[in-house]
Amino acid sequence: MNAAPADQIRLLDVQALDVRLTQLAHRRETLPEHAEIRELDSELAQQRDLLVAARTEESDTAREQTKAEQDVDQVRQRAARDQQRLDSGMVTNPRDLESLQSEIASLARRQDDLETIVLDIMERQEAAQARAKELAAALEALEAKAAEAAGRRDAALAEIDADAASVRAERADVAAAVPADLLKLYEKLREQQGGVGAARLYQRRCEGCRLELNITELNEVRAAAPDAVVRCENCRRILVRTPESGL
Ligand SMILES: [Zn+2]
């Protein structure tokens, strides 16, 4: 294949722009904000679960409290009725009187027990409330942190995308001036050779594979016509000659 030396040099410009695009794509993928946001998202999920648990505990204890207070009320009403009967003087039979008094005493003990239960539930409810409040505040702070990180990530991505768009436009311009068959060979090699299809021959060294050409290879390159498209014997990339090739 033949191509004018200037077109071969132009191919190096295309290569340099392609390398920049690859670097930008890599930067896009490896922004530290991605890892930071993943970490924050997992923390957020944990905190949300804890908050749901605390709020469930809060509503469970509220229900328990209502139920326990109803129990206290029932016992209190029954004790009040018994007391009324006792005070009315209508119960005169000693056995009935004794049974009534014993029931009143037993209801008083029951009421005490139930009131202790209510207090215990109230304590648990207050603890759950305090915990839910604390978790909600922590969650809010974490959400603000995540929003701030997402903002930073989006700004960085927008900057990278703007850079990439301008590099792509420049690349299209330069590539348009390279002969189609040379560009096609370059694209094929670039795909096979990890993103580098054309390399400068710099001080007798292929800048694609970094190997120095041996004397036979150098003589072949020296003998090649200026518009011959030379390939590196080692890595098969297009080897572009420049005044610094050391020939
Ligand atoms: Zn090479």
39-80 per-position pLDDT tens digit: 999 999 999 999 999 999 999 999 999 999 999 999 999 999
CATH number at residue 123: 1.10.287
C-alpha 17 to ligand 1 mean position (Å): 19
Neighbours of 144 (CB within 10 A): 10
Instruction: Indicate whether 208 belongs to any domain.
Output: yes
C-alpha 236 to ligand 1 mean position (Å): 6
Same domain, 110 and 198: no
Q: Beta strands 198-202 and 230-231: pairing type?
A: unpaired
C-alpha 80 to ligand 1 mean position (Å): 103
Q: Which domain holds residue 205?
A: 5-25+179-241
Give the per-residue pLDDT at 145. 98
Number of domains in the chain: 2
Instruction: Indicate whether 164 belongs to any domain.
Output: no
Closest listed residue to residue 176, CA positions, set 9, 10, 17, 6: 10
Same domain, 134 and 38: yes
Give the per-residue pLDDT at 187. 97
Q: Are 237 and 206 in contact (CB under 8 A)?
A: yes
Give the per-residue pLDDT at 205. 97
Residue 45's alpha-carbon distances to 48, 49, 135, in angstroms, are: 5, 6, 12
Instruction: Indicate whether 169 belongs to any domain.
Output: no
C-alpha 197 to ligand 1 mean position (Å): 10
C-alpha dihedral sign at 204, 205, 208, 209: positive
Give the per-residue pLDDT at 17. 98
Q: Determine the residue type at 42.
A: S
C-alpha 159 to ligand 1 mean position (Å): 34
C-alpha 235 to ligand 1 mean position (Å): 4
The per-residue pLDDT for range 125-174, each reduced to its tens digit, is 999 999 999 999 999 999 999 999 999 999 999 999 999 999 999 999 99
Q: Are 15 and 197 in contact (CB under 8 A)?
A: yes
Same domain, 221 and 201: yes
Give the per-residue pLDDT at 2. 96
How many angstroms separate the CA atoms of 8 and 1, rounded?
A: 11
Give the per-residue pLDDT at 76. 97
Instruction: Indicate whether 167 belongs to any domain.
Output: no
C-alpha 176 to ligand 1 mean position (Å): 25
Phi, psi angle pair for 209, to nearest 5°: -105, -5
The per-residue pLDDT for range 180-237, each reduced to its tens digit, is 999 999 999 999 999 999 999 999 999 999 999 999 999 999 999 999 999 999 999 9
Instruction: Indicate whether 108 belongs to any domain.
Output: yes
Instruction: Name the H helices within the chain.
Output: 5-29, 32-88, 94-176, 180-192, 215-223
Mean pLDDT of 172-179: 97
C-alpha 199 to ligand 1 mean position (Å): 7
How many angstroms separate the CA atoms of 193 and 24, rounded?
A: 19
Question: CB-side exposure of 146: number of CA atoms within 13 Å?
Answer: 16
Give the per-residue pLDDT at 244. 95
- Which residues contact residue 61 at a Cβ distance below 8 angstroms, ignoring those fewer than 6 apart? 121, 124, 125, 128
